[in-house]
Amino acid sequence: MIYVGCHLTVADGYAAMAEKMTGFGGNTFAWFTRNPRGGRTKAVPREDLQALRGRLEAEKFGPLVAHGSYTMNLCSANEQTRLNGLDMLRQDLERMEALPGNLYNFHPGSHTGQGEQAGIEQIAQALNAALRPDMKTVVLLETMAGKGSEIGGTFEQLQEIIERVRLREKIGVCFDTCHTWDAGYDLAGDFDGVLRRFDDVIGLERLKAVHFNDSKNPRGSRKDRHEKLGQGQIGLEAMKRIAMHPALSGLPFILETPNDDDGYIAEIHTVLGWFGG
């Protein structure tokens, strides 16, 4: 079985996102915790939260997957950018505690010239500063394409972050299919092998969510340009094998494909169709 959905905007509240996703035919969704310019998050009204809980239960939603801001860089060479990032992370995690589902995904960061090792240390430091033992949220490191000075283009880098986090039981991974492909992993030719590698390096038990995207570019291009399902270089057959892989059963699959609402509805329908639903 599978949970599938796409990104929605939080403008009209959380329950409204669940309602919209039900209309799309999906049963999970993602949202950016703040607008792309990185503004502050708003408090969650109690009535909205209650309505959300009701809808998630009635429609049997899977885990929801919040996404941290693109502007949050926990390992920038610029100290002020790092401190702003830590602020965002703390506020976002505070907000997440009020919400059900409790998966929070973010891009580990770009070291902007400091080098991979310094970047890894700073990301882990920020997580150690932000995580508290009483938090219910699972924080997901996203697998990245490895473009520029991005950290997270290899499973090894993600594991190096994880092993430096004291409360590492609260850390998971969000597997972005476009990014891992662009980073060089052969999702189309040998997805079993990719998962074996993931299991050896990180451990499959940390895999909590999937960003389900085809890629405009060839494997290893390090580009990070998402494509609609089946219209990219990974291809529909491989995407189907990924979605139906037993190791990923029950995970939330978030589409981040370049689509309008109708396009997402069609892709959700395609994915659920693979499962006969």
Interacting residue ranges for Zn ion, rule: CB under 5 A: 224
Cα–Cα distance for residue pair 210/150, rounded to 1 Å: 19
92/142 with CB nearer Zn ion? 142
Q: Does 92 bind Fe ion (CB under 5 A)?
A: no
108/119 with CB nearer Fe ion? 108
CB 82 within 8 A of CB 122: yes
144/272 with CB nearer Zn ion? 144
Stretch that binds Fe ion, among 75-83, 109-117, 234-242, 249-257 (CB under 5 A): 249-257
Cα–Cα distance for residue pair 271/212, rounded to 1 Å: 10
Residues 6 or more apart in contact with residue 49 via CB below 8 angstroms: 14, 15, 98, 99
By beta carbon distance, the residue nearest Fe ion is 211
- Tell me the closest approach of the beta carbon of residue 107 to Fe ion, in angstroms: 6
Instruction: From the list Fe ion, Zn ion, none, pick the one residue 224 interacts with, judged by a Cβ distance below 5 to 8 Å according to partner type.
Output: Zn ion
Stretch that binds Fe ion, among 112-120, 182-190, 251-259, 267-275 (CB under 5 A): 251-259
CA dist list (Å): 11 to 37, 109, 125, 203: 15, 26, 32, 36
Instruction: From the list Fe ion, Zn ion, none, pick the one residue 94 interacts with, judged by a Cβ distance below 5 to 8 Å according to partner type.
Output: none
- Tell me the closest approach of the beta carbon of residue 107 to Zn ion, in angstroms: 9
Lookup: tokens for 121: 């240390």
Cα–Cα distance for residue pair 264/5, rounded to 1 Å: 8
94/256 with CB nearer Fe ion? 256
The residue written with tokens 């502007």 in the block is 71
- Tell me the closest approach of the beta carbon of residue 46 to Fe ion, in angstroms: 30
Q: Does 176 bind Fe ion (CB under 5 A)?
A: yes
Cα–Cα distance for residue pair 191/241, rounded to 1 Å: 8
Instruction: From the list Zn ion, Fe ion, none, pick the one residue 267 interacts with, judged by a Cβ distance below 5 to 8 Å according to partner type.
Output: none
Q: Does 226 bind Fe ion (CB under 5 A)?
A: no
Cα–Cα distance for residue pair 209/66, rounded to 1 Å: 11
Question: Within positions 178 to 217, which residues make up the interface with Fe ion, using CB under 5 A?
Answer: 211
Show the beta-strand stretches assigned E in the chain. Answer: 3-6, 30-32, 65-67, 103-106, 109-110, 138-142, 150-151, 171-176, 207-212, 214-215, 226-227, 252-255
Binding-site size for Fe ion (CB under 5 A) equals 4
Lookup: tokens for 78: 């610029």
Q: Does 224 bind Fe ion (CB under 5 A)?
A: no
85/153 with CB nearer Zn ion? 153
In the complex, the residues that contact Fe ion under the rule CB under 5 A are 142, 176, 211, 256
